[in-house]
Amino acid sequence: MFDRYDTRFKIAIVWVVAFLGIWSLFQSYFPIKSMKQQLNQIEESIDKKDWVQAKENASRFKENFRRNRIFIQMNNATEAFTVFEQNIGQLETSVKHKQDSALEYVGALREAIDLVIKPFSGP
């Protein structure tokens, strides 16, 4: 009744279209640009020793992450996600206690952000 080649071709086309649809949804929804900008603001505040502003920026960064956490975790449930979440906590604590080591956590977050938030990121 159905030619096997024709059915396989249709399945392949549906799979490719579905993949592109999911990828474009993830690409448009993930807050990677805003989170990178927030990390830059946190770094500038720490460099200037403006701890009040750094604390506000860190809180905004954490809130942005929490708002999108479930969606990000659906895309990427790896160890990088867990480490990223721990670094957010360490950044928040080091800014709270006005420690210069907060810059290390900003750097760690900046390096890990592509692995955690980018759609279909690699291992």
43-63 pLDDT, tens digit each: 999 999 999 999 999 999 999
| CATH for 31-117, options being 1.10.1040.10, 3.30.1360.40, 1.20.120.290, 1.10.357.10 | 1.20.120.290
Q: How many CB atoms lie within 10 A of CB 7?
A: 10
26-47 pLDDT, tens digit each: 777 778 888 999 999 999 999 9
Q: Provide the residue ranges of all domains of the chain, joining segments of one domain with +.
A: 1-29, 31-117
Q: How far is CA 20 from the centre of its chain?
A: 20
pLDDT of residue 72: 81
Q: How many CB atoms lie within 10 A of CB 50?
A: 13
- For 52-68, give the DSSP string: HHHHHHHHHHHHHHHHH
